[in-house]
Amino acid sequence: MLPVIGLYLLFGAGLLLINRRGHGRASTVAGGLIVTWVTVGALVGGAELALRCCYAASDTPMQWTRAGENWIARYMAFNSLGYRDREWTAEDLAGKTVIFAVGDSFTEGWGIEDPALRFPDRLQARLGSGYAVVNLGKGGSSTLHQTQAVMDYPYAKPDIIIWQYLLNDIDVAAISNGLVWESPIPLERPALIEESHLANFIYWRLFRQGMFLSPQGISQWAWLYSAYDDSFIWSIHAQEIDRMVDYADSVARA
Partner 1 sequence: MEDPVSSVPYVDRVQQHLESLGHPDIVKLTDAAAAMPIEERVVSRADAHPSAAFNAVVADLLYPLIAGES
Q: Which residues make up the interface to partner 1 (CB under 8 A)? A: 57-60, 62, 97, 99, 105-106, 109-112, 114, 117-119, 122-123, 126-127, 131, 159-160, 162, 165, 167, 208, 221, 224-225, 228, 234, 238, 241-242, 245, 248-249
Residue-wise burial string across 194-217, b where 16 or more C-beta atoms lie within 10 A, e elsewhere: eebbbbbbebbeebeeeebebeee
* Distance in Å, CB of 120 to partner 1, minimum: 8
Whole-angstrom distance, CA of residue 116 vs CA of residue 105 = 15
Instruction: Give the nearer residue to partner 1 in terms of CB position, either 79 or 219.
Output: 219
Whole-angstrom distance, CA of residue 141 vs CA of residue 183 = 18
* Distance in Å, CB of 23 to partner 1, minimum: 52
Instruction: Give the nearer residue to partner 1 in terms of CB position, either 8 or 131.
Output: 131
* Distance in Å, CB of 238 to partner 1, minimum: 6
Instruction: Give the nearer residue to partner 1 in terms of CB position, either 162 or 175.
Output: 162
Strands of the 160-163 sheet, one edge to the other: 131-137, 97-103, 160-163
Whole-angstrom distance, CA of residue 250 vs CA of residue 254 = 6
> Which residues, 6 or more positions from 199, have their beta carbon under 8 angstroms from its beta carbon?
192, 193
Residues 67 and 55: beta-carbon distance below 8 Å: yes
* Distance in Å, CB of 15 to partner 1, minimum: 38
Instruction: Give the nearer residue to partner 1 in terms of CB position, either 35 or 242.
Output: 242
Instruction: Give the nearer residue to partner 1 in terms of CB position, either 192 or 241.
Output: 241
* Distance in Å, CB of 232 to partner 1, minimum: 15
* Distance in Å, CB of 21 to partner 1, minimum: 49
Instruction: Give the nearer residue to partner 1 in terms of CB position, either 160 or 251.
Output: 160
Whole-angstrom distance, CA of residue 249 vs CA of residue 253 = 6
Q: Are strands 131-137 and 160-163 parallel, antiparallel or unpaired?
A: unpaired
